């Protein structure tokens, strides 16, 4: 009996071992990308998790590059084109199982032949074609040309030279950024849609309820665009999608404001979301202001900048929903704004979005992509040397493009119905106030 039993036992154990081996072969082992590309695991079933660095769909196959930050090199993934999915976009987070094999290409030693691809996290901005760029806080440009700059030097060394005779820490004067636009324009030469969201600084002496010395701005730049309509569409979409998201994700917080801070304001938000935004030109705006019986504190002649009182009046006059004002006088806009070349009312292809109760919330323009016109304008302002690199962007593969910036705190004023910008940021900075 014993040998039989032993045989039976060993057969049973063998069976278990076989099914364990079968299970191990079937169940992929989770590897980091650096482990996967080390080719020690070739011939095994593996699973990797990471972010998509590139997607190349071909007729029969889909090629991906995936990275999880464990290696500078990404893992090439080859899958049947049936595994392609609309959510597989640059930046999306994925989990992929398959067989690790020796790659037939000389570009990499191994590749993953995928059996299954799961998108764990979508990457929506990329889906809409926008790539996020981290633009610098320290910069040597005054994008807006308004001179409202905070200069940055090491403390206690403002005027002196260092031991090597350098007057400035960066060899040139450096400032806290007033806008990431010019850096976005450089990146828009490589990606058709880019955006940045970060702090911006303006040394404005204004004590108004809508100005801060440090505020946040969402800025976008779009290549291959030749019309303000394209820009206005992106601005309107940004407002609508952000507001939809806010109302869906934080309904209690928004309701708290609409109950205690701005009673009844939810109706205004609903109206803005329901109705299309209006569009008028600057010239039409001036005509509206001049035919009004209201007495304004500031001048309303053609050529004058629109003041808050004018902006708020125009929004109300046009139905109390957001209002685009286009084609401002050329002389009012910074050097980068595209010349409409329309004499004698000389205007630029620039647009501001004005919103109820606040006035200007976004400012944008088509950019002057024509080298000769840009050169002349910069030379007139004595800036052609400073902006040599910006002129180079027009020399090498330049395309018509444009963009805009939306002040984030002003957006919050608009959707929450808050009166003073200092109440939508925890540590407001404004002239003569920088505690903590």
In the list 98, 193, 407, 417, the residue contacting ligand 4AD (rule: CB under 6 A) is 407
In the list 143, 149, 174, 285, the residue contacting ligand 4AD (rule: CB under 6 A) is 143
* Angle subtended by helix axes 408-416 and 251-260, to nearest 10: 70
Choose between 322 and 364: whose C-beta lies nearer to ligand 4AD. 364
Extended strands (E) in 295-431: 323-326, 350-355, 359-366, 401-407
Q: Tell me which residue of 303, 404, 408, 380 sits closest to 145, measured CA to CA.
A: 380
Candidate ranges 99-107, 212-220, 233-241, 282-290; the one touching ligand 4AD (CB under 6 A) = 212-220
341: which DSSP letter?
-
Q: Does 141 bind ligand 4AD (CB under 6 A)?
A: no
In the list 28, 50, 329, 403, the residue contacting ligand 4AD (rule: CB under 6 A) is 403
Residues forming a β-bridge with 430: 433
Choose between 289 and 361: whose C-beta lies nearer to ligand 4AD. 361
How many residues are given for the chain?
436
Tokens 């324009």 identify what position? 185
Q: Does 211 bind ligand 4AD (CB under 6 A)?
A: yes
In the list 95, 115, 127, 204, the residue contacting ligand 4AD (rule: CB under 6 A) is 204
Q: Does 236 bind ligand 4AD (CB under 6 A)?
A: no
363 burial (CB, 10 Å; 0-12 / 13-18 / 19+) is: buried
Choose between 313 and 336: whose C-beta lies nearer to ligand 4AD. 336
Name 79's Cβ contacts closer than 8 Å, sequence gap at least 6: 61, 62, 64, 98, 113, 114, 117
In the list 219, 327, 368, 369, the residue contacting ligand 4AD (rule: CB under 6 A) is 219
Candidate ranges 16-24, 215-223, 227-235, 377-385; the one touching ligand 4AD (CB under 6 A) = 215-223
Choose between 124 and 208: whose C-beta lies nearer to ligand 4AD. 208
In the list 117, 187, 212, 238, the residue contacting ligand 4AD (rule: CB under 6 A) is 212
Q: Does 338 bind ligand 4AD (CB under 6 A)?
A: no
Q: Does 314 bind ligand 4AD (CB under 6 A)?
A: no
Strand 75-80, strand 61-67: pairing = antiparallel
Phi, psi of 115 (to 5 degrees): -100, -30
Residue 337 to residue 405: CA distance in whole angstroms: 14
Q: Which of residues 342-401 bind ligand 4AD (CB under 6 A)?
A: 360-364
Choose between 50 and 364: whose C-beta lies nearer to ligand 4AD. 364
Choose between 212 and 286: whose C-beta lies nearer to ligand 4AD. 212
Candidate ranges 45-53, 76-84, 209-217, 295-303; the one touching ligand 4AD (CB under 6 A) = 209-217
Count of residues interacting with ligand 4AD (CB under 6 A): 22
Q: Which of residues 53-92 bind ligand 4AD (CB under 6 A)?
A: none
Q: Which of residues 108-137 bind ligand 4AD (CB under 6 A)?
A: none
Candidate ranges 165-173, 207-215, 287-295, 305-313; the one touching ligand 4AD (CB under 6 A) = 207-215
CA 287 to chain centre: 35
Judge whether 105 and 67 are in contact, CB under 8 Å: no
Q: Tell me if residue 435 falls in helix, strand or coil.
A: coil
Candidate ranges 40-48, 204-212, 230-238, 341-349; the one touching ligand 4AD (CB under 6 A) = 204-212
Q: Tell me which residue of 146, 173, 149, 148 sits closest to 159, measured CA to CA.
A: 173
In the list 325, 356, 409, 417, the residue contacting ligand 4AD (rule: CB under 6 A) is 409
Residue 187 to residue 185: CA distance in whole angstroms: 5
In the list 36, 123, 174, 217, the residue contacting ligand 4AD (rule: CB under 6 A) is 217
Q: Rounding to the nearest 10 degrees, give the CA dihedral for residues 281, 282, 288, 293.
A: 170
In the complex, the smallest distance separating the C-beta of residue 415 from ligand 4AD, rounded to whole angstroms, is: 13
Tell me the DSSP string of 264-300: TTHHHHHHHHHSPPEEEEHHHHHHHHHT-SSPPSS--
- Residues in the site for ligand 4AD, rule: CB under 6 A? 143-144, 179, 181, 202, 204, 211-212, 215, 217, 219, 360-364, 403-405, 407, 409-410
């Amino acid at each position: 009996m014993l040998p039989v039993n032993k045989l039976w036992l060993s057969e049973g154990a063998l069976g278990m071992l076989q099914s364990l081996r079968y299970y191990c072969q079937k169940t992929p082992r989770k590897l980091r990308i650096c482990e996967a590309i080390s080719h020690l695991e070739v011939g095994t079933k593996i699973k990797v998790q990471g972010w998509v660095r590139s997607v190349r769909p071909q007729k029969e196959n889909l090629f991906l590059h995936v990275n999880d930050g464990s290696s500078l090199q990404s893992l090439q993934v080859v899958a049947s084109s049936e595994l392609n999915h609309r959510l597989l976009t640059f930046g999306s987070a994925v989990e992929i199982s398959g067989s690790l094999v020796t790659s037939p290409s000389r570009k990499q030693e191994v590749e993953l032949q995928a059996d299954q691809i799961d998108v764990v996290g979508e990457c929506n901005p990329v889906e809409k074609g926008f790539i996020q760029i981290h633009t610098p806080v320290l910069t040597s440009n005054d994008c807006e040309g308004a001179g409202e700059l905070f200069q940055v030097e090491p403390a206690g060394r403002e005027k002196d030279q260092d031991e090597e005779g350098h007057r400035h820490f960066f060899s040139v004067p450096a400032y806290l950024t007033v806008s990431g636009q010019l850096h976005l324009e450089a990146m828009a030469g490589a990606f058709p849609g880019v955006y940045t969201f970060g702090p911006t600084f303006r040394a404005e002496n204004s004590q108004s309820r809508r100005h801060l010395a440090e505020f946040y701005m969402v800025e976008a730049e779009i290549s291959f665009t030749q019309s303000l309509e394209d820009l206005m569409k992106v601005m309107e979409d940004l407002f609508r999608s952000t507001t939809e998201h806010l109302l869906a994700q934080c309904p209690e917080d928004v309701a708290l404001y609409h109950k205690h801070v701005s009673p009844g304001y939810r109706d205004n938000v609903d109206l803005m979301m329901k109705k299309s935004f209006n569009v008028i030109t600057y010239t039409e705006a001036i005509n509206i202001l001049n035919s009004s019986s209201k007495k304004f504190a500031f001048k309303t002649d053609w050529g004058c900048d629109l003041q808050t009182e004018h902006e708020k009046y125009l929004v109300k006059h046009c139905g109390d929903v957001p209002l685009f004002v286009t084609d401002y006088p050329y002389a009012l806009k910074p050097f980068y704004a595209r010349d409409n070349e329309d004499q004698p009312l000389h205007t630029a292809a620039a647009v501001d979005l004005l919103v109820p109760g606040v006035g200007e919330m976004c400012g944008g323009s088509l950019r002057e992509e024509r080298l000769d016109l840009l050169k002349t304008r910069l030379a007139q302002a004595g800036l052609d040397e400073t902006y040599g690199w910006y002129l180079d962007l027009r020399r090498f593969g330049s395309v018509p493009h444009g963009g805009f910036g939306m002040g984030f705190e002003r957006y919050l004023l608009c959707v929450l119905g808050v009166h003073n910008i200092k109440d939508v940021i925890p540590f407001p900075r404004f002239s003569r106030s920088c505690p903590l």
